[in-house]
Amino acid sequence: MVREILVGCCGFPVKRERYFEVLRGVELQNTFYRLVKEESLKKLRESAPGAFISIKAPMGITHRWPSPVYRRAGYGKDSSYLSQLGAFRETEAVRSLTETLIKWLEAAGARAVLFQTPASFKQTEENLSRAVEYFRRFRERLRERGLKVIVA
């Protein structure tokens, strides 16, 4: 049984005030491409009480360097750091981005998070094992923080 259907957009096609007069849900996609400030997410939450906010996980968790999507991102140029990014790997870079994501979820009052994998993330035993382990740790961190978030 469906309790409620929420309609929203990816980002804001009009001013936020107008947007939330008409729609209650929004997916924040800029979080995929760049590291946003927690303060801006807190302001969004305060300006849209009761809104269903979904955050797109940072590409550094899912996409290996040198994916073309990194052209727009502010991940710097340190090759030792960049080589640790993506594919749900257990690296310091991915752990740090996961902590950033959790802080974003808290700041925005988000109720869902979306992970987008690249086409290169094939269904292999290694990739599946890494993803399953990543999501096990991620859900554990959410529980530790008392967050109830839909993971998609």
Domain range for 49 is 21-123+130-151
- Strands 112-114 and 52-56 come out as parallel
Domain-located, residue 28: yes
How far apart, in Å, do the first and last CA atoms of the chain sit? 20
Domain-located, residue 49: yes
pTM of the model: 0.92
Q: How far is the CA of 132 from the CAs of 11, 27, 41, 82, 125, in angstroms?
A: 29, 24, 28, 23, 10
Mean pLDDT of the 80-86 span: 94
Domain-located, residue 14: no
Residue with tokens 């752990």, as numbered in its chain? 95
pLDDT confidence bin for 2, thresholds 50/70/90: low
Domain-located, residue 54: yes
Give CA–CA dist 61/91, Å, rounded.
10
Domain-located, residue 13: no
The domain total for the chain is 1
Domain-located, residue 8: no
Domain-located, residue 12: no
Give CA–CA dist 64/69, Å, rounded.
10
150-151 β-sheet, strand order: 8-10, 25-28, 52-56, 112-114, 150-151
| Tens digit of each residue's pLDDT (9 = 90 or more) over 84-109 | 999 999 999 999 999 999 999 999 99
Contact 112, 55 (CB under 8 A): yes
Cα 80-39-7 angle, rounded to 5 deg: 100
Please say if the pLDDT value at position 1 is more than 70.
Answer: no
Domain-located, residue 97: yes
